């Protein structure tokens, strides 16, 4: 069995984190992030659930997670997954969106999984530059090109991407944070 490797590099100039999973076979339980995730499956096949939609993802599929998108995945074949991606905070995305569109409003991605060879090539090139510690000026241009492609092809207003039950989830989270030291039941939440 392949050894699982996880690597991450933060680019201070771009304020973006690039990460890489190699030989990943373990499942990821349902979770979400407070930042955008733009990823590319390089090898392997996984079953992904995102925004209550089920997908089988494999080589060449791009993943577009908005902040707060609930998702989980597990291996669908006997192998392991190789996956690379970028984590972009909402603050950084707002600045990049303003540079691309002239409007600082956060974009949302309408699709969680896309097959887009041109965007995947751009992501892979940018990822290699960040992981390699490149000081090239072209990194910022590649990031802007990638995001402009994704926003143009799959973007919509962020407010349209928030699940309808978001207020209920926020109320439950608030209750749990307030009562974290106490014994609470699901009925109370």
The predicted-structure confidence for 144-169, as pLDDT tens digits, reads as follows: 999 999 999 998 866 666 655 556 66
The candidate with the shortest Cα–Cα distance to 84, out of 23, 135, 40, is 40
Name which of 150, 170, 127 is nearest 19 in CA terms: 127
- Name the CA radius of gyration of the chain, rounded: 18
Within 10 angstroms of residue 169's Cβ, the number of other Cβ atoms is: 14
pLDDT of residue 59: 95
Asked which of 12-26, 28-42, 112-126, 173-187 is least confident by mean pLDDT, the reply is: 173-187
Helices (H) and strands (E) in the chain, counts: 4, 12
pLDDT in tens, 109-156: 989 999 999 999 999 999 999 999 887 778 999 999 999 999 999 988
């Amino acid at each position: 069995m392949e050894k699982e490797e996880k690597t991450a590099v933060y680019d201070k100039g771009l304020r973006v984190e690039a990460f890489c999973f190699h030989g990943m076979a373990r499942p990821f339980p349902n979770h979400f992030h407070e930042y955008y995730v733009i990823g590319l499956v390089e090898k392997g096949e996984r079953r992904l659930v995102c925004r209550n939609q089920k997908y089988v993802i494999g080589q060449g599929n791009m993943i577009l997670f908005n902040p707060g998108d609930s998702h989980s995945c597990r291996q669908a074949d006997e192998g392991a997954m190789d996956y690379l991606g970028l984590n972009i905070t909402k603050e950084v995305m707002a600045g990049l969106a303003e540079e691309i569109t002239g409007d600082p409003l956060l974009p949302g991605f309408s699709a969680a999984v896309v097959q887009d060879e041109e965007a995947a090539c751009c992501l892979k090139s940018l990822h290699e530059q960040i992981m390699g510690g490149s000081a090239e000026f072209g990194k910022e241009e590649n990031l802007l090109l990638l995001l402009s492609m994704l926003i143009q092809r799959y973007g919509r207003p962020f407010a349209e991407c928030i699940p309808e039950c978001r207020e209920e989830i926020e109320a439950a989270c608030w209750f749990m944070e307030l009562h974290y030291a106490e014994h609470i039941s699901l009925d109370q939440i």
